[in-house]
Amino acid sequence: MSININELMANEAAKIVDQHIENLEWQLKRAQETRETAINKFKFKGPYELASTSGINDNGTYMVVHKETKRVGYIGQGNIRNRINRIKAVMRNCGEAIVHQGGSTSDHPGARKMYSIDPCLSNWIYLELPCTKDHSKRIESMLESKIGSMCNASHMSGVN
């Protein structure tokens, strides 16, 4: 019985390559599923009226938009409810920092700038994207660099 070694090697090499291709196809399918999951996960919710809602009590990224001009007034990240409430409080205080008993203040420079553009809270809406702290910082920086805003301080992008 004669064995053609070259034919045997060619068949084994083909099997190894086929297995490698199957593995790569499986990995590609998983990567595509992960991409779809990420696309569906990272979608802003809203818009919500700034004057009448407070945002979710969760970490994430948010954008405040002027209704009439459709321009982004502010992009931020952190606890969405706390940040939205701070913006509303400063705007309701005529665009000034709130001074508490004992002398401490609550301020939001973006809200002061928004107030100077349009002091009417009902002319502003916001969108929110709940996500991890790490993701929210990266998303805020990306949004600020890609679309920008009227009231953000560029050196604060991605800073908590």
Give the pLDDT of residue 116.
97
pLDDT confidence tier of residue 156, bands split at 50, 70 and 90: low
What value does the mean pLDDT take over residues 15-32?
92
Measured in degrees and rounded to the nearest 5, phi and psi for residue 120 equal -85, 110
Give the pLDDT of residue 77.
96
Domain segments of the chain as ranges: 1-41, 44-156
The DSSP letter of residue 16 is H
Do the Cβ atoms of 66 and 123 come closer than 8 Å? Answer: yes
Question: One-letter amino acid identity for 153?
Answer: A
Query: Lowest mean pLDDT: which of 26-30, 34-38, 95-99, 118-122?
Result: 34-38
**Higher per-residue pLDDT: 4 or 21:** 21
Between vectors from CA 153 to CA 128 and to CA 104, what angle results, nearest 5°? Answer: 85
In the predicted structure, residue 86 carries a pLDDT above the cut 90: yes
pTM strictly above 0.85 = no
Give the pLDDT of residue 39.
76
pLDDT confidence tier of residue 15, bands split at 50, 70 and 90: very high
Superfamily of the domain at 44-156 = GIY-YIG endonuclease (3.40.1440.10)
